[in-house]
Chain A
Amino acid sequence: MMMNEPTILLVEDNDDDAALTVMAFHRAKITNRLIRARDGVQALDYLFCRGEYAARDACDLPAVTLLDLNLPNVSGLEVLKAIRADERTKHLPIIVLTSSNEDKDRLGAYDHFANSYVVKPVDYDRFVAAAQQLCFYWMVLNAPPPRKEP
Protein backbone atom coordinates (compact mmCIF):
# COMPACT_ATOMS: atom_id res chain seq x y z
CA MET A 1 0.00 0.00 0.00
CA MET A 2 1.25 3.48 -0.83
CA MET A 3 1.94 5.60 2.24
CA ASN A 4 -0.32 8.58 2.21
CA GLU A 5 1.38 11.91 2.45
CA PRO A 6 1.08 13.16 6.04
CA THR A 7 -1.94 15.39 6.48
CA ILE A 8 -2.76 18.17 8.92
CA LEU A 9 -6.20 18.38 10.52
CA LEU A 10 -7.25 21.91 11.40
CA VAL A 11 -10.22 22.16 13.76
CA GLU A 12 -11.32 25.78 13.58
CA ASP A 13 -14.81 27.30 13.50
CA ASN A 14 -13.76 30.85 12.63
CA ASP A 15 -13.47 31.27 8.84
CA ASP A 16 -11.03 34.17 9.12
CA ASP A 17 -8.73 32.23 11.40
CA ALA A 18 -8.94 29.18 9.12
CA ALA A 19 -8.08 31.29 6.05
CA LEU A 20 -5.20 32.94 7.93
CA THR A 21 -3.85 29.56 9.00
CA VAL A 22 -4.02 28.23 5.43
CA MET A 23 -2.27 31.41 4.24
CA ALA A 24 0.35 31.07 6.98
CA PHE A 25 1.11 27.47 5.92
CA HIS A 26 1.31 28.57 2.32
CA ARG A 27 3.76 31.34 3.22
CA ALA A 28 5.75 28.96 5.36
CA LYS A 29 6.01 26.69 2.25
CA ILE A 30 4.15 23.84 3.92
CA THR A 31 2.57 21.80 1.16
CA ASN A 32 0.99 18.98 3.17
CA ARG A 33 -2.69 18.39 2.61
CA LEU A 34 -4.72 20.38 5.12
CA ILE A 35 -8.16 19.17 6.16
CA ARG A 36 -10.39 21.59 7.94
CA ALA A 37 -13.15 20.67 10.37
CA ARG A 38 -15.54 23.48 11.24
CA ASP A 39 -16.48 22.19 14.66
CA GLY A 40 -15.90 19.41 17.14
CA VAL A 41 -18.52 17.07 15.65
CA GLN A 42 -16.98 17.29 12.19
CA ALA A 43 -13.50 16.73 13.64
CA LEU A 44 -14.58 13.56 15.44
CA ASP A 45 -16.54 12.35 12.37
CA TYR A 46 -13.38 12.76 10.31
CA LEU A 47 -11.10 10.97 12.77
CA PHE A 48 -13.53 8.10 13.45
CA CYS A 49 -14.77 7.86 9.82
CA ARG A 50 -18.38 8.55 10.66
CA GLY A 51 -21.15 10.54 8.97
CA GLU A 52 -19.93 12.32 5.83
CA TYR A 53 -16.55 10.61 6.26
CA ALA A 54 -17.92 7.05 6.57
CA ALA A 55 -16.11 5.95 3.39
CA ARG A 56 -12.71 7.26 4.48
CA ASP A 57 -9.67 5.03 5.10
CA ALA A 58 -9.58 4.73 8.88
CA CYS A 59 -5.82 4.13 8.87
CA ASP A 60 -5.19 7.50 7.26
CA LEU A 61 -4.85 9.58 10.41
CA PRO A 62 -3.47 13.11 10.39
CA ALA A 63 0.20 13.52 11.32
CA VAL A 64 -0.84 16.41 13.50
CA THR A 65 -4.11 18.00 14.61
CA LEU A 66 -4.38 21.72 15.34
CA LEU A 67 -7.27 22.13 17.72
CA ASP A 68 -9.04 25.35 18.63
CA LEU A 69 -10.64 25.32 22.09
CA ASN A 70 -13.53 27.68 21.63
CA LEU A 71 -15.78 25.60 19.36
CA PRO A 72 -19.57 25.50 19.08
CA ASN A 73 -21.49 22.40 20.27
CA VAL A 74 -18.68 20.02 21.18
CA SER A 75 -15.86 22.08 22.73
CA GLY A 76 -12.18 21.63 21.95
CA LEU A 77 -11.57 20.00 25.31
CA GLU A 78 -14.36 17.48 24.72
CA VAL A 79 -12.86 16.67 21.32
CA LEU A 80 -9.51 16.12 23.01
CA LYS A 81 -11.11 13.88 25.62
CA ALA A 82 -12.85 11.78 22.96
CA ILE A 83 -9.62 11.41 20.96
CA ARG A 84 -7.68 10.27 24.01
CA ALA A 85 -10.44 7.85 25.07
CA ASP A 86 -10.38 5.92 21.79
CA GLU A 87 -7.84 3.17 21.14
CA ARG A 88 -7.45 4.22 17.49
CA THR A 89 -6.58 7.83 18.18
CA LYS A 90 -5.26 7.98 21.73
CA HIS A 91 -1.65 8.61 20.62
CA LEU A 92 -2.42 11.23 17.95
CA PRO A 93 -0.31 14.38 18.25
CA ILE A 94 -2.73 17.15 19.23
CA ILE A 95 -1.64 20.78 19.35
CA VAL A 96 -4.05 23.17 21.01
CA LEU A 97 -3.94 26.39 18.95
CA THR A 98 -5.99 29.10 20.59
CA SER A 99 -6.30 32.83 21.36
CA SER A 100 -6.61 32.11 25.04
CA ASN A 101 -3.70 32.35 27.40
CA GLU A 102 -5.85 31.70 30.47
CA ASP A 103 -4.43 29.34 33.11
CA LYS A 104 -7.76 27.47 33.16
CA ASP A 105 -7.54 26.60 29.44
CA ARG A 106 -3.89 25.64 29.57
CA LEU A 107 -4.47 23.39 32.54
CA GLY A 108 -7.55 21.83 30.89
CA ALA A 109 -5.60 21.07 27.71
CA TYR A 110 -2.75 19.38 29.57
CA ASP A 111 -5.17 17.58 31.88
CA HIS A 112 -6.55 15.92 28.77
CA PHE A 113 -3.09 15.12 27.42
CA ALA A 114 -2.63 17.69 24.69
CA ASN A 115 0.88 17.32 23.26
CA SER A 116 1.42 21.05 23.08
CA TYR A 117 -0.34 24.37 23.66
CA VAL A 118 0.31 27.33 21.38
CA VAL A 119 -1.24 30.78 21.76
CA LYS A 120 -2.09 32.29 18.36
CA PRO A 121 -0.17 35.55 18.07
CA VAL A 122 -2.14 38.62 16.95
CA ASP A 123 0.84 39.79 14.89
CA TYR A 124 0.54 37.91 11.60
CA ASP A 125 4.29 37.74 10.98
CA ARG A 126 4.67 35.93 14.29
CA PHE A 127 1.71 33.71 13.40
CA VAL A 128 3.44 32.62 10.18
CA ALA A 129 6.67 31.99 12.09
CA ALA A 130 4.74 29.90 14.64
CA ALA A 131 3.04 27.85 11.87
CA GLN A 132 6.41 27.20 10.27
CA GLN A 133 8.03 26.04 13.50
CA LEU A 134 5.05 23.93 14.49
CA CYS A 135 4.97 22.09 11.19
CA PHE A 136 8.71 21.61 11.03
CA TYR A 137 8.70 20.13 14.51
CA TRP A 138 5.61 17.94 14.24
CA MET A 139 5.90 16.87 10.59
CA VAL A 140 9.68 16.47 10.31
CA LEU A 141 11.45 16.25 13.64
CA ASN A 142 8.91 14.40 15.72
CA ALA A 143 8.69 10.62 15.27
CA PRO A 144 4.96 9.71 15.30
CA PRO A 145 3.52 6.62 17.02
CA PRO A 146 3.85 3.47 14.86
CA ARG A 147 1.18 3.12 12.20
CA LYS A 148 -1.46 0.49 12.88
CA GLU A 149 -2.48 -1.87 10.10
CA PRO A 150 -6.21 -2.54 9.70
Chain B
Amino acid sequence: MERTRELDAANKELEAFSYSISHDLRAPLRAIDGFSKAILDDYAEKLDQQACVYLQRVRAGIQKMSGLIDDLLSLSRISRGALRKEAINLTALARDVVAELQEGEPSRKVAVEIANGLTARGDPRLTTIVLTNLLGNAWKYTAKRPESQIAFGQENNGNETVFYVRDNGPGFDMADADKLFAPFQRLHRNSEFEGTGIGLATVQRIVSRQGGRVWAKAAVNQGATFFFTLGEMR
Protein backbone atom coordinates (compact mmCIF):
# COMPACT_ATOMS: atom_id res chain seq x y z
CA MET B 1 0.00 0.00 0.00
CA GLU B 2 2.76 2.39 1.02
CA ARG B 3 4.64 1.52 -2.15
CA THR B 4 1.60 2.15 -4.37
CA ARG B 5 1.14 5.55 -2.75
CA GLU B 6 4.78 6.41 -3.38
CA LEU B 7 4.53 5.32 -7.01
CA ASP B 8 1.37 7.34 -7.44
CA ALA B 9 3.09 10.40 -6.03
CA ALA B 10 6.10 9.86 -8.30
CA ASN B 11 3.84 9.55 -11.34
CA LYS B 12 1.99 12.73 -10.44
CA GLU B 13 5.29 14.53 -10.06
CA LEU B 14 6.45 13.31 -13.46
CA GLU B 15 3.23 14.51 -15.00
CA ALA B 16 3.58 17.95 -13.43
CA PHE B 17 7.16 18.05 -14.64
CA SER B 18 6.32 17.29 -18.26
CA TYR B 19 3.45 19.75 -18.11
CA SER B 20 5.69 22.54 -16.94
CA ILE B 21 8.25 21.62 -19.58
CA SER B 22 5.69 21.90 -22.32
CA HIS B 23 4.41 25.23 -21.05
CA ASP B 24 7.15 27.04 -19.27
CA LEU B 25 10.11 26.19 -21.47
CA ARG B 26 8.41 26.74 -24.80
CA ALA B 27 7.19 30.27 -24.02
CA PRO B 28 10.66 31.86 -23.58
CA LEU B 29 11.95 29.94 -26.60
CA ARG B 30 9.17 31.41 -28.68
CA ALA B 31 10.14 34.88 -27.42
CA ILE B 32 13.82 34.40 -28.35
CA ASP B 33 12.91 33.12 -31.79
CA GLY B 34 10.24 35.74 -32.48
CA PHE B 35 12.28 38.75 -31.43
CA SER B 36 15.37 37.47 -33.29
CA LYS B 37 13.20 37.24 -36.37
CA ALA B 38 11.90 40.77 -35.71
CA ILE B 39 15.46 42.12 -35.58
CA LEU B 40 16.32 40.29 -38.81
CA ASP B 41 13.23 41.61 -40.58
CA ASP B 42 13.00 45.16 -39.26
CA TYR B 43 16.65 46.12 -38.69
CA ALA B 44 18.36 44.19 -41.46
CA GLU B 45 19.80 47.36 -43.01
CA LYS B 46 21.52 48.32 -39.75
CA LEU B 47 23.16 44.91 -39.34
CA ASP B 48 26.17 43.65 -41.23
CA GLN B 49 26.14 40.18 -42.72
CA GLN B 50 27.95 38.58 -39.81
CA ALA B 51 25.35 39.87 -37.35
CA CYS B 52 22.59 38.33 -39.46
CA VAL B 53 24.44 35.02 -39.53
CA TYR B 54 24.71 35.08 -35.72
CA LEU B 55 20.98 35.70 -35.43
CA GLN B 56 20.26 32.82 -37.81
CA ARG B 57 22.36 30.63 -35.55
CA VAL B 58 20.37 31.79 -32.53
CA ARG B 59 17.21 30.75 -34.36
CA ALA B 60 18.67 27.41 -35.41
CA GLY B 61 19.61 26.78 -31.76
CA ILE B 62 16.02 27.49 -30.72
CA GLN B 63 14.65 24.95 -33.17
CA LYS B 64 17.07 22.37 -31.86
CA MET B 65 16.10 23.01 -28.26
CA SER B 66 12.44 22.91 -29.17
CA GLY B 67 13.04 19.49 -30.75
CA LEU B 68 14.76 18.31 -27.58
CA ILE B 69 11.80 19.40 -25.47
CA ASP B 70 9.42 17.51 -27.77
CA ASP B 71 11.62 14.41 -27.49
CA LEU B 72 11.77 14.66 -23.72
CA LEU B 73 8.00 14.94 -23.58
CA SER B 74 7.42 11.91 -25.78
CA LEU B 75 9.88 9.96 -23.64
CA SER B 76 7.91 10.83 -20.51
CA ARG B 77 4.64 9.91 -22.26
CA ILE B 78 6.00 6.41 -22.83
CA SER B 79 6.39 5.97 -19.11
CA ARG B 80 2.75 6.91 -18.53
CA GLY B 81 -0.41 5.32 -19.88
CA ALA B 82 -1.64 1.73 -19.64
CA LEU B 83 0.23 -1.19 -21.21
CA ARG B 84 -1.62 -3.51 -23.55
CA LYS B 85 -0.61 -7.11 -24.10
CA GLU B 86 -1.54 -8.45 -27.53
CA ALA B 87 -0.18 -10.77 -30.20
CA ILE B 88 1.99 -8.76 -32.58
CA ASN B 89 3.16 -9.76 -36.05
CA LEU B 90 6.69 -8.35 -35.92
CA THR B 91 7.50 -9.41 -39.49
CA ALA B 92 4.60 -7.37 -40.90
CA LEU B 93 5.38 -4.47 -38.59
CA ALA B 94 9.04 -4.39 -39.65
CA ARG B 95 8.05 -4.48 -43.34
CA ASP B 96 5.77 -1.48 -42.80
CA VAL B 97 8.51 0.45 -41.03
CA VAL B 98 11.03 -0.26 -43.81
CA ALA B 99 8.49 0.66 -46.51
CA GLU B 100 8.02 3.99 -44.78
CA LEU B 101 11.76 4.58 -44.56
CA GLN B 102 12.10 3.76 -48.26
CA GLU B 103 9.29 6.16 -49.08
CA GLY B 104 11.11 8.93 -47.19
CA GLU B 105 14.30 8.32 -49.20
CA PRO B 106 13.26 6.72 -52.50
CA SER B 107 16.75 6.95 -53.99
CA ARG B 108 18.41 4.78 -51.32
CA LYS B 109 19.16 1.15 -52.10
CA VAL B 110 19.25 -0.94 -48.95
CA ALA B 111 19.31 -4.73 -48.82
CA VAL B 112 16.82 -5.45 -46.03
CA GLU B 113 16.31 -9.00 -44.84
CA ILE B 114 13.32 -9.56 -42.57
CA ALA B 115 12.79 -13.08 -41.21
CA ASN B 116 9.36 -14.62 -41.75
CA GLY B 117 6.97 -15.52 -38.95
CA LEU B 118 8.33 -13.28 -36.17
CA THR B 119 5.68 -12.85 -33.49
CA ALA B 120 5.59 -11.61 -29.91
CA ARG B 121 3.18 -10.53 -27.21
CA GLY B 122 3.36 -6.92 -26.16
CA ASP B 123 1.95 -3.42 -26.54
CA PRO B 124 1.46 -2.82 -30.28
CA ARG B 125 1.91 0.97 -30.19
CA LEU B 126 5.05 0.88 -28.07
CA THR B 127 6.54 -2.05 -29.99
CA THR B 128 6.06 -0.10 -33.21
CA ILE B 129 8.11 2.70 -31.65
CA VAL B 130 10.87 0.18 -30.79
CA LEU B 131 11.08 -1.12 -34.37
CA THR B 132 10.80 2.37 -35.85
CA ASN B 133 13.78 3.48 -33.78
CA LEU B 134 15.98 0.41 -34.28
CA LEU B 135 15.30 0.03 -38.01
CA GLY B 136 15.44 3.82 -38.44
CA ASN B 137 18.88 3.87 -36.81
CA ALA B 138 20.10 0.99 -39.01
CA TRP B 139 18.77 2.85 -42.04
CA LYS B 140 20.44 6.10 -41.02
CA TYR B 141 23.82 4.66 -40.03
CA THR B 142 24.23 2.61 -43.23
CA ALA B 143 23.66 5.67 -45.44
CA LYS B 144 27.37 6.08 -46.22
CA ARG B 145 28.02 2.41 -47.04
CA PRO B 146 28.42 1.47 -50.70
CA GLU B 147 26.07 -1.47 -50.05
CA SER B 148 23.74 -0.92 -47.12
CA GLN B 149 22.58 -4.07 -45.37
CA ILE B 150 20.00 -4.48 -42.63
CA ALA B 151 18.66 -7.69 -41.11
CA PHE B 152 15.82 -8.27 -38.63
CA GLY B 153 15.49 -11.73 -37.14
CA GLN B 154 15.31 -13.85 -34.01
CA GLU B 155 17.54 -16.16 -32.01
CA ASN B 156 16.53 -18.62 -29.35
CA ASN B 157 18.51 -18.28 -26.20
CA GLY B 158 17.36 -21.14 -23.96
CA ASN B 159 13.65 -20.54 -23.47
CA GLU B 160 13.96 -16.86 -24.22
CA THR B 161 13.29 -15.37 -27.67
CA VAL B 162 15.77 -12.69 -28.63
CA PHE B 163 15.07 -10.39 -31.58
CA TYR B 164 17.85 -8.52 -33.33
CA VAL B 165 18.39 -5.71 -35.82
CA ARG B 166 21.77 -5.90 -37.54
CA ASP B 167 23.37 -3.36 -39.84
CA ASN B 168 26.68 -2.91 -41.64
CA GLY B 169 27.05 0.75 -40.60
CA PRO B 170 30.06 2.32 -38.86
CA GLY B 171 29.39 0.45 -35.60
CA PHE B 172 30.96 1.74 -32.40
CA ASP B 173 33.59 0.92 -29.80
CA MET B 174 32.19 -1.53 -27.20
CA ALA B 175 33.87 0.63 -24.53
CA ASP B 176 31.10 3.18 -25.22
CA ALA B 177 28.28 0.60 -25.06
CA ASP B 178 27.06 1.83 -21.66
CA LYS B 179 26.42 5.33 -23.05
CA LEU B 180 24.20 4.11 -25.86
CA PHE B 181 20.92 4.02 -24.01
CA ALA B 182 21.25 7.20 -21.93
CA PRO B 183 19.07 10.10 -23.11
CA PHE B 184 20.83 12.68 -25.31
CA GLN B 185 24.07 10.68 -25.41
CA ARG B 186 25.46 10.29 -28.89
CA LEU B 187 28.44 8.37 -30.19
CA HIS B 188 28.57 10.21 -33.51
CA ARG B 189 28.89 13.88 -34.31
CA ASN B 190 25.76 15.61 -35.54
CA SER B 191 27.55 16.57 -38.75
CA GLU B 192 28.15 12.86 -39.47
CA PHE B 193 24.72 11.53 -38.55
CA GLU B 194 21.84 13.73 -37.45
CA GLY B 195 19.88 13.00 -34.30
CA THR B 196 19.06 14.16 -30.80
CA GLY B 197 20.07 11.02 -28.92
CA ILE B 198 16.62 10.10 -27.68
CA GLY B 199 15.86 7.07 -29.86
CA LEU B 200 17.69 4.32 -27.96
CA ALA B 201 16.69 5.80 -24.59
CA THR B 202 13.10 5.48 -25.77
CA VAL B 203 13.68 1.88 -26.90
CA GLN B 204 15.18 0.95 -23.56
CA ARG B 205 12.36 2.52 -21.61
CA ILE B 206 9.72 0.72 -23.67
CA VAL B 207 11.43 -2.64 -23.56
CA SER B 208 12.01 -2.54 -19.81
CA ARG B 209 8.43 -1.40 -19.18
CA GLN B 210 7.34 -4.61 -20.89
CA GLY B 211 9.74 -6.68 -18.80
CA GLY B 212 12.35 -7.12 -21.53
CA ARG B 213 15.96 -6.10 -22.12
CA VAL B 214 17.92 -4.40 -24.89
CA TRP B 215 21.67 -4.55 -25.56
CA ALA B 216 24.10 -4.13 -28.42
CA LYS B 217 27.19 -5.73 -29.92
CA ALA B 218 29.40 -3.86 -32.32
CA ALA B 219 32.91 -3.01 -33.41
CA VAL B 220 34.23 0.09 -35.12
CA ASN B 221 33.60 -0.12 -38.86
CA GLN B 222 32.09 -3.57 -38.55
CA GLY B 223 28.41 -2.75 -38.12
CA ALA B 224 26.20 -3.01 -35.06
CA THR B 225 23.59 -5.47 -33.82
CA PHE B 226 20.88 -4.49 -31.37
CA PHE B 227 19.20 -7.30 -29.44
CA PHE B 228 15.95 -7.07 -27.50
CA THR B 229 13.48 -9.27 -25.69
CA LEU B 230 9.87 -8.42 -24.94
CA GLY B 231 9.50 -10.13 -21.60
CA GLU B 232 7.42 -13.21 -20.91
CA MET B 233 5.86 -14.85 -23.94
CA ARG B 234 3.00 -16.39 -21.93
Say yes or no: A122 contacts B63, CB within 8 Å: yes
Question: What is the predominant secondary structure among interface residues of chain B facing chain A?
Answer: helix
Residue-by-residue, is B107-138 near A (CB-CB < 8 Å gives 1, otherwise 0)?
A: 00000000000000000000000000000000
Residue of B nearest to A104 (CB): B19
Given contacts A122-B33, A123-B66, A125-B37, contact A16 B28 (CB under 8 A): yes
- Tell me whether B62 is interfacial, beta carbon within 8 Å: yes
Say yes or no: B22 contacts A124, CB within 8 Å: no
Say yes or no: B19 contacts A120, CB within 8 Å: no
With the chains together, A100 CA to B23 CA distance in Å? 6
With the chains together, A23 CA to B41 CA distance in Å? 12
Number of A-B pairs, beta carbon distance below 8 Å: 55
With the chains together, A70 CA to B19 CA distance in Å? 11
Given contacts A122-B63, A123-B66, contact A20 B31 (CB under 8 A): yes
Given contacts A14-B27, A99-B27, A122-B66, contact A127 B22 (CB under 8 A): no
Residue-by-residue, is A113-129 near B (CB-CB < 8 Å gives 1, otherwise 0)?
A: 00000001111110100
Say yes or no: B22 contacts A20, CB within 8 Å: no
With the chains together, A120 CA to B34 CA distance in Å? 12
- Tell me whether A102 is interfacial, beta carbon within 8 Å: yes
With the chains together, A24 CA to B37 CA distance in Å? 11
Given contacts A122-B29, A123-B63, contact A23 B23 (CB under 8 A): no
Q: Which residues of A contact B (CB under 8 A)?
A: 14, 16-17, 20, 23-24, 27, 70, 98-102, 120-125, 127
Sort A-B residue pairs by CB-CB distance and give the 4 closest, nearest first. A16-B31, A122-B66, A124-B34, A20-B34
